[in-house]
Amino acid sequence: MTLRQAAQGSEIDQRLAALLTNVNAVRAIASAVEGTIGPKGLDTLLVDRFGEVVITNDGMTILTRMDVNHPAAKMVINTAKAQEEEVGDGTTTATIIAGALVTEGFNQVARGVPVTRVIEGIKIGIAKAVEYIEDKATKVDGIKDPLLRQIALVAGRNNEDIADLVISAAEMVGKEKLLDQRFRFSEIITAKEGAENQVFPGIIVDKKRLNEEMPEDIENPVILVIDDALEAEEIEEEALATEAGFRRYMELQEEFKKNLKKIVELGVNFIVIDKGISDVAEEMLTDAGVMVVTRVASSDLRRVAEHTGARPIKRTGLKKAEEDLKNYLGYADRVYEDEKLKCIKVIGGKGKSAATILVGASTQEVRGERERICNDAASSVQAAIKGGVVPGGGAIEIGCAREVDKLRASQRGMQAYGLQCVVEALKKPLAQIVSNAGFNPLEKTGDVIARQTEEDNLNLAVDCETGEVTDMLELGIVDPAPVKIYALKAAMEIACAILRIDTIIKKKDEEDEGNKKGTQSYRSMEEGF
């Protein structure tokens, strides 16, 4: 009995009802992103209740902005989020393979295969596929390797300008930093309406200076990063009503002014503040010719500190002696406000090297999509440097399917049915890519399997322009190996979790239960009285 038959048949075993419900939810999620995969994939229009529109073919954007209530569907989306955070790309592939795995898994269970055996087979098959990808991955020979630009081009949906920006930024950042597990290459990207495409050795703070009287362009700035508000220490209102309290308040105000003078005397002329600033501080710093930026996001605050070599300080730390405060200062070649883009640029910091990719866009809608495309390209480039590349276009998945199929032939026991699920799921990316390109997926998938087997060449897949079976490496269609590996692991986790669910039970509301207990306790107290 297939999934379709199970959905239509009234005689379905009640034991499978919960599983069927979950499988249908996962399939619905997979269907939402299937049409976007491949070079001929189409866009999706997302509309909220206020009429705001997002047009995209980015799988992660579609998944996270869909109005979803089903718990199984939410599991898929949460796993996709984890993939996005880990490798930054591949969520569409992971979702499509997960949808195919749960569909094929249900079909086997409906035929009478025990769920545990199906899951065992899926785990064995995915482990084999991951091992195969790791073995076949081609290492990238430094940032100058032409394969890296192809990675950026494919992940960047054939936008030449974005691929060039990403590679230029990679060269500026350097291989060592790209290999750093704590560094996310995609975080250096900013898209702005009306901007020109640009890569520069510095960072952007998405804020304007505090007021127009402050300087807008400073050469060789001395920088102070305050991870706090720039205000005098507070005193409780009750204490302020007393003579001693008021005297203490005046002392704190005077001490605060002295600290501000100390900052100016140290030559500080650019201050970045996490929170707000008092009127007294704004007036004094404006008169001293200091540029101040307030309410800066913590991520931008951290990046300013790292790039300029500054050490973030709390407002109480401003009491330190001048010699000690010097150790908290940062330096750069230039800081200026870009009036057109309404942001602050910090160029040539003396701390850790940094680069910013500025992506230009004509409208707000285009800006968001251009930024997402650039994020995918940057994430893929970083993943390729870490783990190498494999042929794209669904070729590597077909190669994996062939290997798992060989394993299935030698497998004893009912785990073989789980392996069959993996084989069918691994065919799905190629089938969907060629379907989106307007070709018959069954025919083209069969052609690729036959040619790969005949020529023992895992690089073969379908050229979506001609429909011919072609070497993907020769076409420059490559994917990062870590993205494929993580997608397979994520799909396996989703499929196994969904297939293991046998019963769906609605939880009682914990808040209502607490109120009910409180009411019962109150009644007991009344009865006691």
Would you state the structure tokens that stand for residue 37, as one six-digit string? 């995969």
**Cα–Cα distance between 299 and 184 in angstroms, integer?**
12
Residue with the bigger pLDDT between 249 and 12: it is 249
pLDDT value of residue 13: 56
pLDDT surpasses 80 at 245: no
pLDDT value of residue 335: 96
| Structure confidence at residue 196 as a pLDDT band (50, 70, 90) | confident
**Weakest mean pLDDT among 6-15, 114-123, 416-425:** 6-15
Q: Is the distance from CB of 425 to CB of 126 less than 8 angstroms? A: no
Q: For the domain bounded by 146-201+358-387, which CATH number is listed?
A: 3.30.260.10
Compute φ and ψ for 144, nearest 5 degrees.
Answer: -80, -5
pLDDT surpasses 90 at 219: yes
- pTM for the structure as a whole: 0.79
Residue type, 349: G
pLDDT surpasses 50 at 9: no
pLDDT value of residue 526: 44
Same fold, 146-201+358-387 and 203-354: no
Which residues are annotated as catalytic?
A: 58, 91-92, 376
Residue type, 481: A
Name the CATH superfamily for 203-354: GroEL (3.50.7.10)
pLDDT value of residue 511: 58
| Burial label, 112 (beta-carbon count in 10 A; 0-12, 13-18, 19+) | exposed
**Weakest mean pLDDT among 18-22, 28-32, 368-372, 516-520:** 516-520
pLDDT value of residue 11: 45
pLDDT value of residue 10: 44
Percent of the chain with pLDDT over 90: 54
Residue with the bigger pLDDT between 288 and 513: it is 288
pLDDT in tens, 305-353: 999 999 999 988 998 998 999 999 999 999 999 988 889 999 999 998 8
Would you state the structure tokens that stand for residue 59, as one six-digit string? 């799988």
| Structure confidence at residue 527 as a pLDDT band (50, 70, 90) | very low
pLDDT value of residue 350: 92
pLDDT surpasses 70 at 106: yes
Which residue has 């307007």 as its token pair? 438
pLDDT surpasses 70 at 7: no
Q: Is the distance from CB of 496 to CB of 468 less than 8 angstroms? A: no
Name the CATH superfamily for 3-138+390-500: GroEL-like equatorial domain (1.10.560.10)
Stretch 279-290: mean pLDDT: 93
**Weakest mean pLDDT among 100-104, 195-199, 214-218, 233-237:** 233-237
pLDDT in tens, 462-503: 999 999 999 999 999 999 999 999 999 999 999 999 998 877
pLDDT in tens, 356-369: 999 988 877 788 88
**Weakest mean pLDDT among 37-46, 209-218, 391-400:** 37-46
| Structure confidence at residue 19 as a pLDDT band (50, 70, 90) | confident
Stretch 44-68: mean pLDDT: 81
pLDDT value of residue 454: 94
- Give me Rg for the CA atoms of the chain: 29
Stretch 82-110: mean pLDDT: 87
pLDDT value of residue 528: 43
Q: Is the distance from CB of 272 to CB of 205 less than 8 angstroms? A: yes
**Cα–Cα distance between 139 and 154 in angstroms, integer?**
17
Cα of 368 vs its chain's centroid, Å: 14
Numbers of helices and strands, H then E, in the chain: 21, 17
pLDDT value of residue 294: 95
Stretch 198-204: mean pLDDT: 91
At 133 the three-state DSSP class reads helix
pLDDT surpasses 90 at 251: no
- 44-47 and 53-56 beta bridge pairing: antiparallel
H or E, element range at 337: strand 334-338
pLDDT surpasses 70 at 84: yes
Handedness of CA 262, 268, 269, 275 (dihedral sign): negative
- Can you give the three-state secondary structure of 240-296, one letter per residue? HCCHHHHHHHHHHHHHHHHHHHHHHHCCCCEEEECCCECHHHHHHHHHCCCEEECCC
Would you state the structure tokens that stand for residue 128, as one six-digit string? 């084999």
**Cα–Cα distance between 103 and 23 in angstroms, integer?**
6
Sorted by sequence, the CB contacts under 8 Å of residue 44 that are 6+ apart come out as: 32, 33, 35, 36, 55, 56, 57, 62
| Structure confidence at residue 516 as a pLDDT band (50, 70, 90) | low
Please report, for the chain, the start and end positions of each structural domain, with discontinuous segments joined by +: 3-138+390-500, 146-201+358-387, 203-354
